[in-house]
Structure 1
Amino acid sequence: MAFVSGRRLAQLLGIVALGALAAGCTTTKPTTDAKGAKLGYAAEPKETGTTGFFSSHSFSGLAGRSVTVNSIADLRLRNHEVVLTFDDGPMPGRTENILKVLDNAGVKATFMIVGQMARSYPALVREVAAHGHTIGTHTQSHANLAHMSAAGAQAQIDGGIKSVSAALVPSMHGVAPFFRFPYLASTATLRRELAARGIVVIDADIDSKDYFPSSPDQVRKRTMARIEQRGSGIILMHDIHPRTAQMLPQLLADLKAKGYKVVRLVPGHRSRELLVSSLTTGTVTTPEQTALAYSNR
């Protein structure tokens, strides 16, 4: 049996984890093959990166205000304001392209990270944070919490928080108390419990459906049409699909041309921070202990 390096093993584990995520945060039935297995990258275009997308675009003035979020009530956007969110990553060769586009446009996004992916690619989690983006969580393994027991759902939520926390420990960054339900499938009970813990649920107003086997331009046009219909909103995208990075520069150019502003979400001082960079393995094991440690710093 051939020897597999630790780095290669991490990559393989990430790909396995990604297979469970490939359908994206949709409530529709994922594409399957003849044997019923999920198709991770059905009809994905050939990866071309983002080279050449930037030269014709000027993004001056696209960046808008920062919104401090302590509760769902703070998630109020003005007309022609949007929030960029990316779920399910990080993924090497994919997330970096998204970061390049956002850097070029001078805007910030919120990344809702899956715990398994954070465990496989912790350095990439830290890279996202180092670029100034807000990091929230998206469960440990992208499970549908609405179909789980209360204990199972809490384990998924806490597992995701703990894994992303571990990835960020070596850095000076922490995770915002922001959470998104996989498949956007929630329950009233889970929402109440999250609110009681100071965790803000980040819902989505505009689903790009970039997990569908569409061309980058189809994703862009579909997303822009929905934005224009609503006039503002939180946009759901995924940093695990090449088509998303490929269409993103033109989507941002469209937003700029139509007078939209990209709003940055940041956690408020009154939020109970679940993760802090000074924590080390073994000192804190639960979100409640983390919150207590943060309050005693």
Structure 2
Amino acid sequence: MYRFFVLSCIALAAALSGCSTTKQSSPDTSIKTSSVIAPEGRKLAYSADGDAAAPLLAGPHHLAGRTLEISSLADLKLHDKEVILSFDDGPVPGRTDKVLAILDQFGVKGAFMMVGQMAEMHPALARKVAMDGNAIGSHTYRHANLSALSFDAAMAEVTKGEMAVTKATGTDVAFFRFPYLAESHRLRAAIAMRDLVVMDVDIDSKDYFTTTPASVMQRTMNLLHKRGSGIILMHDIHKRTATMLPTLLSKLEGEGYKVVTLKFRKTQAPSNLVASADFVMTR
């Protein structure tokens, strides 16, 4: 029975289509151990379950950057070679926990935009994400395309998702991301009035495509090289994301990038109605 429940949960997570409706047909394979190159003087360590396809780099790391306290999107200003790691659609057992272990291995934090329904199904895992010091955001209750709903129905989805994630994590939700990046000015303003910072996307890893982990990593780095900094979109529901993450973080560290930790700073009155011109959403 438990096995059936877990398989059902993963099936629900797999049904979430991330932030794009575009798909590719190439097979999903894994990064081979030989493709992960450890910097000189470091040894390769493996995850707790012994998964040889997702090696972790042992030893000290210098990837963690500053902590940025923000109360609105206008405060979210990144310097050159600074990135924010964001993960949508979880939590999912066997996936999100692996992502957490990898982030911990590298000494960095991420921003997790949780689907309310998933947080309700896995409250212990959702709580662990928060307890590990990651930024917590919501992603509606059922990953709905808000642009296809009436304004009232869309806001009901937003509110229900926020409440579910708050209850599951035991902490206030400070961030929000539109599923499929499908938004409107009216919805964006209304969500900001709830004292939520809308998280945009600068670098879309497209890890929701059926492609190799190595391709996801290379696409992400190529886009980052063009921008120099930004918010990276990933999804903690996909195995390929956890597989490629150690390599991606090693690349970032080797090229001198820093991972910024987000903290929300409450204000007396909502001030996040103004969107920063520095952030252009990609689809």
Which of residues 218, 221, 236 in structure 2 aligns to 1:221?
Answer: 218
What is aligned with 2:42?
none
TM-score with structure 2 length normalisation? 0.82
Q: Is the 1:49–1:97 Cα contact (8 Å) retained in structure 2? A: no
What is aligned with 2:108?
107
Q: Distance in 1 between matches of 2:112 and 2:56?
A: 22
Deviation, structure 1 residue 54: 2.1
Deviation, structure 1 residue 258: 0.9
Q: 1:43 to 1:115 in 2, by over 3 A?
A: farther
What is aligned with 1:184?
181
The percentage of counterpart residues that share the same residue type is 47
TM-score with structure 1 length normalisation? 0.78
- Residues 103-252 of structure 1 aligned to structure 2 (within 5 Å): 103-169=104-170, 174-252=171-249
- Over residues 101-149 of structure 1, what are the superposed CA-to-partner deviations in whole Å (9 max), with x where a residue is unaligned? 1000000100000011011111110111121111110000001101110
| Aligned: 1:14 with 2:15 | no
Q: Distance in 2 between matches of 1:52 and 1:190?
A: 39
Helix, strand or coil at the partner of 1:82: strand
Q: 1:45 to 1:175 in 2, by over 3 A?
A: farther
Q: Distance in 2 between matches of 1:216 and 1:252?
A: 13
Q: Distance in 1 between matches of 2:24 and 2:243?
A: 22
Deviation, structure 1 residue 16: 4.6
Q: 1:51 to 1:104 in 2, by over 3 A?
A: farther
Helix, strand or coil at the partner of 2:245: helix
Q: Distance in 2 between matches of 1:46 and 1:248?
A: 12
Q: 1:52 to 1:210 in 2, by over 3 A?
A: closer
What is aligned with 1:277?
none
Deviation, structure 1 residue 30: 4.6
Helix, strand or coil at the partner of 1:98: helix
| Aligned: 1:54 with 2:48 | no
RMSD: 2.3
Q: Distance in 1 between matches of 2:91 and 2:269?
A: 25
What is aligned with 1:68?
69
Q: Is the 1:95–1:240 Cα contact (8 Å) retained in structure 2? A: yes
Helix, strand or coil at the partner of 1:140: coil
Q: Distance in 1 between matches of 2:200 and 2:245?
A: 20
One-letter amino acid of the structure 2 residue matched with residue 15 of structure 1? I
Q: Distance in 2 between matches of 1:61 and 1:31?
A: 35
Helix, strand or coil at the partner of 2:261: strand
What is aligned with 1:45?
29
Q: 1:260 to 1:144 in 2, by over 3 A?
A: same
Q: 1:52 to 1:166 in 2, by over 3 A?
A: closer
Helix, strand or coil at the partner of 2:56: coil
What is aligned with 2:259?
262
4+ residue runs of structure 1 moved beyond 2 angstroms? Answer: 7-17, 28-32, 42-52, 57-60
Q: Distance in 2 between matches of 1:102 and 1:203?
A: 21
**Which ranges in structure 1 are unaligned for 5 or more consecutive residues?**
33-41, 274-297
One-letter amino acid of the structure 1 residue matched with residue 13 of structure 2? L
- Residues 73-88 of structure 1 aligned to structure 2 (within 5 Å): 73-88=74-89
Q: 1:16 to 1:218 in 2, by over 3 A?
A: closer
Q: Is the 1:178–1:201 Cα contact (8 Å) retained in structure 2? A: yes
What is aligned with 1:25?
19
